[in-house]
Amino acid sequence: MTEPFYQPLNNEQHLFEHAWRHHMPVLIKGPTGCGKTRFVQHMAHRLNLPLYTVACHDDLSAADLLGRHLIGTDGTWWQDGPLTRAVREGGICYLDEVVEARQDTAVVLHPIADERRELFLERTGEVLKAPSSFMLVVSYNPGYQNLLKGMKPSTRQRFVALRFGYPPTADEERIVAREAGVDVALAAQVVRLGQALRRLDQHDLEEVASTRLLIFTARLIGAGMSPREACMACLAEPLSDDPLTVAALMDVVDVHFA
């Protein structure tokens, strides 16, 4: 498998590897599209570990992580969930947007995230001891935090935390050029536009232009689409449903691609 491209920004690789070697779970905080998932994919490849990624949502329960009994023509059997498989195989279990999951998942995560490193499968009566190579990684977007969907201190303080943001200009230009397959000049122009859109806080955007969206934009422009059409489809429309806000975003686009 080809190594997932990742542009290091600080010492995040070094810290992640030390946390893994010392059996510490990792919490990654950062905005949408800033590279959290790609970083975990890169580190799993770098450490040569199997990776189980779970996109958390409102209906995700502890059983979805642990597993469940299934019924078929040959009878009943147990099927491991992604967390259980990662523990058995000594891999990485990555819970993306973990605060979106139901609260009962915290009961499952606590004993596997602290010094016990144990996973309790109540329905089978098993207690799995995590091997030394197992690692639990979770992430969330602090911008979406509220009283109903926050990570409890009792859970958060079990993790080593990394804060991600959007890359510095030069790094973001290299990332966009590499991921979109375009020249540095076009990447730099798209990044400058993205930075201008990120400064439009008066429009009350829920999210700003992510590095992911800038890559999408550059990729379409590089494929021959007009800059305005690409920016409308990849930046303005994904960032807002309000026609007036979309028009305001496109005014900024027109200035940058005059």
pLDDT tens digits, one per residue of 191-236: 999 999 998 865 667 788 999 999 999 999 999 999 999 999 999 9
pLDDT of residue 144: 64
DSSP assignment of 182-245 = --HHHHHHHHHHHHHHHT-GGG--SS---HHHHHHHHHHHHTT--HHHHHIIIIIHHH-S-HHH
* Average pLDDT value over all residues in the chain: 92
| Distance in angstroms (rounded) separating the CA atoms of residues 143 and 150 | 11
pLDDT, tens digit, for every residue of 170-179? 999 999 999 9
DSSP H/E element including 137: strand 135-140
The whole-number pLDDT of residue 76 equals 87
Q: Is 16 helix (H, G, I), strand (E, B) or coil?
A: helix
Q: Considering only CA atoms, which of 202, 100, 93, 195 is closest in space to residue 141?
A: 100
Single pTM value for the model: 0.90
β-pair type (67-72, 75-80): antiparallel
Q: Is-contact 52 92, C-beta < 8 A?
A: yes
**Half-sphere exposure (CA, 13 Å, Cβ side) for 102?**
9
Helix axes 82-89, 105-113, angle to 10 degrees: 10
- pLDDT for res 228: 97
Residue 18 has pLDDT above 70, yes or no: yes
Both structure tokens of 139? 């992430």
Residue pair 217/235 in contact (Cβ under 8 Å)? The answer is yes
CB-CB contact of 16 with 162 (8 Å): yes
For the chain, percent of residues with pLDDT exceeding 70: 96
With a cut of 90, say whether residue 107 has pLDDT above it: no
Asked whether the predicted pLDDT for residue 146 surpasses 70, the reply is: no
pLDDT of residue 202: 59
Residues β-bridged to residue 96 = 55
Question: Cα-atom radius of gyration of the chain, to the nearest Å?
Answer: 21
Query: Which of 10-19, 69-78, 233-242 bottoms out in mean pLDDT, i.e. has the lowest?
Result: 69-78
Please check the confidence at residue 53 and state whether its pLDDT lies above 60. yes
Q: How many CB atoms lie within 10 A of CB 19?
A: 18
What are the structure tokens assigned to 201, written together? 């806080």
Across 38-42, 122-126, 142-146, least confident range: 142-146
